[in-house]
């Protein structure tokens, strides 16, 4: 058997490799090796989650941001971004519509500081009060531990905070001086300790990224053992300093999804919007390679074009939470089933 496939078998059995071995998997795999990893990942996901695909209604609560991440279209110094923040009423309307459409997880995502803490807490409480059988996920960036604790106490179930890169120097190349790798990692530790189902993640093909960095990302996922992990290709945004950088690779993203599934068999792993933006069949390819979550857009139509993290981000048509029937058909066509369920992390036994 081929070397890379033998190593993939070891990962499948032990859920752990050295950083050097992860780097080898990344550097030396070919298409056939990726297909092999996908077949193992698909089988592992079926053992834990069957053919169920969980959907999350994504509410983009605002694009006002205090941070200045070099890659992101809603960074503070992008003067061209048309800023907005949803009102509590608008957020509740989104959740109501989502609930009617069969969504049982609502993800409130936004730029940092779009909503003051008090309003974050109010919205979590309101949604949990109206829809006690739904989960609330937050993806609102970095806070101090007591703020995260308050969000948890208000009823939030999950928190997504991509680590972006597990290499400190690489982190510094993607973020301005005021932002620190240590703080982001501290946040992830706090979230987990508080009791959130916690998600980390990174962009594939972000500027300056090497196979060594990706190997460190995989090792970090192995050690941190998150309940969720969001990865998607980097896509340049025209009003950022990375405007001329190439986009990340769809096929590498899909291969990494398979490896992450093998590292954490029961992880909740989305086929992300960025993947769907670069490839119209990205969602399907991600699911076939081990992903089991899709996060359609529930934001009010009029703000969707404003939440532009990268160029040409899809937000209507297939990507829309309103197209649920269509999504169901597409998943059925590849042998999967979109379910109306909270879709919590399943502990392995
Ligand atoms: N502000 C919040 C969440 C919003 S950004 C936070 O800091 O967590 C959500 C994710 O979008 C980021 O974590 C990043 O990985 C991704 N993202 C941002 N800009 C991107 C780009 N140009 N291409 C692809 N993904 C991007």
Q: pLDDT tens digit string along 204-223? A: 999 999 999 999 999 999 99
pLDDT tens sequence across 2-46: 899 999 999 999 999 999 999 999 999 999 999 999 999 999 999
Q: Which residue's CA is the nearest one to ligand 1's atom 18?
A: 72
Which SS3 state, helix, strand or coil, does residue 161 take? coil
Q: Which residue's CA is the nearest one to ligand 1's atom 24?
A: 234
Distance of alpha carbon 25 from alpha carbon 271, whole angstroms: 21
The three-point CA angle 220-293-290 to 5° equals 65
Helices assigned H by DSSP within 67-167: 88-101, 117-130, 145-153
Between the CA of 3 and the centroid of ligand 1 the distance, in Å, is: 35
Between the CA of 309 and the centroid of ligand 1 the distance, in Å, is: 6
pLDDT (average), residues 230-251 = 98
Ligand 1 proximity of 235 Cβ (cutoff 6 Å): yes
Q: C-alpha distances in angstroms, 293 versus 262, 284, 296?
A: 16, 11, 10
Between the CA of 70 and the centroid of ligand 1 the distance, in Å, is: 10
Residue 318 scores a pLDDT above 80 = no
pLDDT tens sequence across 34-91: 999 999 999 999 999 999 999 999 999 999 999 999 999 999 999 999 999 999 999 9
- In sequence order, what are the residues at sequence separation of 6 or more whose Cβ sits closer than 8 angstroms to the Cβ of residue 175? 67, 68, 69, 70, 164
Ligand 1 proximity of 309 Cβ (cutoff 6 Å): yes
pLDDT (average), residues 280-292 = 97
Query: What predicted TM-score, i.e. pTM, was given to this entire model?
Result: 0.98
Q: Which residue's CA is the nearest one to ligand 1's atom 4?
A: 110
Contact predicate 15/46, CB 8 Å: no
Between the CA of 72 and the centroid of ligand 1 the distance, in Å, is: 6
Ligand 1 proximity of 111 Cβ (cutoff 6 Å): yes
Between the CA of 205 and the centroid of ligand 1 the distance, in Å, is: 13
Superfamily classification of domain 3-339: Aldolase class I (3.20.20.70)
Distance of alpha carbon 30 from alpha carbon 237, whole angstroms: 30
pLDDT at 112: 97
Calculate the average pLDDT of the chain: 97
Between the CA of 63 and the centroid of ligand 1 the distance, in Å, is: 11
- Match 């979230």 to its residue by tokens: 191
Per-residue confidence band for 345, with pLDDT thresholds at 50, 70 and 90: very high
Q: C-alpha distances in angstroms, 60 versus 209, 247, 300, 307?
A: 28, 23, 9, 7
Ligand 1 proximity of 112 Cβ (cutoff 6 Å): yes
In this structure, what DSSP letter does residue 164 have? B
Q: C-alpha distances in angstroms, 196 versus 110, 126, 137, 190?
A: 18, 19, 9, 9
Per-residue confidence band for 316, with pLDDT thresholds at 50, 70 and 90: confident
Contact predicate 103/57, CB 8 Å: yes
- In this structure, is the dihedral angle defined by the CA atoms of residues 258, 259, 262 and 268, taken in order, positive or negative? negative
Between the CA of 161 and the centroid of ligand 1 the distance, in Å, is: 9
Ligand 1 proximity of 161 Cβ (cutoff 6 Å): yes
- Note the Cα 105 to chain centre separation in Å: 14
Task: Give the number of the atom of ligand 1 that is nearest the alpha carbon of residue 233.
Answer: 24
- Match 């006002």 to its residue by tokens: 64
Distance of alpha carbon 81 from alpha carbon 78, whole angstroms: 6
Task: Give the number of the atom of ligand 1 that is nearest the alpha carbon of residue 242.
Answer: 22
Residue 349 scores a pLDDT above 70 = no
């Amino acid at each position: 058997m081929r070397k890379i496939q033998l190593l993939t078998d070891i990962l499948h059995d032990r859920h752990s490799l050295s950083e050097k071995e992860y780097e080898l998997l990344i550097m030396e795999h070919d298409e056939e090796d990726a297909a092999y990893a996908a077949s193992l990942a698909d089988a592992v996901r079926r053992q834990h989650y069957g053919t169920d695909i969980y959907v999350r209604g994504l509410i983009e609560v605002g694009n006002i941001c205090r941070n200045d991440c070099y890659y992101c279209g809603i960074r503070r110094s992008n003067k061209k971004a048309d800023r907005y923040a949803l009102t509590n009423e608008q957020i509740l309307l989104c959740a109501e519509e989502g609930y009617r459409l069969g969504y049982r997880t609502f993800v409130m995502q936004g730029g940092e500081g779009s909503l003051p803490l008090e309003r974050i807490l109010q919205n979590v409480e309101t949604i949990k009060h109206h829809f006690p059988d739904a989960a609330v996920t937050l993806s609102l960036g970095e806070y101090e531990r007591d703020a995260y604790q308050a969000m948890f106490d208000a009823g939030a179930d999950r928190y997504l905070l991509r680590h972006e890169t597990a290499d400190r120097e690489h982190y510094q190349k993607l973020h301005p001086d005021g932002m620190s790798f240590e703080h982001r990692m501290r946040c992830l530790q706090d979230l987990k300790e508080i009791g959130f189902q916690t998600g980390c993640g990174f962009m594939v093909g972000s500027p300056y990224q090497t196979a060594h960095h990706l190997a460190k990302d995989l090792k970090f996922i192995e050690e941190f053992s998150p309940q969720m992990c969001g990865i998607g290709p980097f896509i340049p945004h025209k009003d950022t300093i990375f405007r001329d950088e190439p986009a990340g690779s769809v096929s590498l993203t899909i291969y990494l999804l398979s490896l992450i599934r093998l590292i954490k068999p029961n992880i909740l792993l989305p086929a992300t919007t960025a993947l769907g933006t670069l490839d119209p069949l990205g969602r399907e390819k991600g699911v076939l390679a081990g992903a089991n979550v899709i996060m359609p857009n529930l934001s009010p139509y009029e703000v969707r074009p404003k939440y532009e993290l990268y160029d040409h981000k899809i937000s209507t048509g297939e990507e829309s939470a309103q197209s649920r029937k269509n999504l169901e058909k597409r998943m059925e066509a590849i042998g999967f089933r979109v379910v109306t369920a909270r879709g919590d992390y399943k502990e392995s036994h």
